[in-house]
Amino acid sequence: MSFGSVFIAMEESMSHQLVDRALVEIPGYRKIPLTKQQLTQRVLITVHAFGLDLDEPEPHFYRTHLEEGAYQRAMQGLPIDDFEQLVLLWHQRGVEMLMEKFDQPSDKIDLLRQALKVIQSGLAGLYRGYDRARIGQLDRQQAILSELALPIIPVYKQILAVPLIGVIDSSRAQQMIERLLEEITNLKAQMVILDLTGVPLIDTGVAHHLLKTVNAARLLGAQVIIVGIRSEIAQTMVHLGIDLSEIITRANLQAGLEYALACSGVAIRPL
Shared domain for 113 and 205, answered yes or no, is no
Structural domain ending residue among the three candidates 123, 144, 165: 144
Shared domain for 129 and 161, answered yes or no, is no
Residue 270 lies in a domain: no
Q: Which range marks the domain in which residue 7 is found? A: 3-144
Determine the pLDDT at residue 157: 87
Domain CATH number, residue 50: 1.10.490
Shared domain for 32 and 130, answered yes or no, is yes
Cβ neighbors of 250 (< 8 A, separation 6 or more) are 225, 226, 227, 256, 259
- Number of separate domains in the chain: 2
Shared domain for 188 and 133, answered yes or no, is no
Report the alpha-carbon distance of residue 172 to residue 150 in Å, rounded: 9
Report the alpha-carbon distance of residue 205 to residue 201 in Å, rounded: 11
Structural domain ending residue among the three candidates 144, 173, 199: 144
> What does each of the 271 residues of the chain score in pLDDT, given as a tens digit?
588 888 888 888 888 888 888 888 888 888 888 889 998 898 889 889 999 999 999 999 999 999 999 999 898 888 999 989 989 888 888 888 888 888 888 888 998 999 999 999 999 999 999 999 988 887 776 665 555 556 788 888 889 998 887 777 666 777 778 888 888 999 899 999 999 888 777 777 777 878 888 888 999 999 999 999 888 888 877 887 777 778 899 999 999 999 999 988 887 777 7
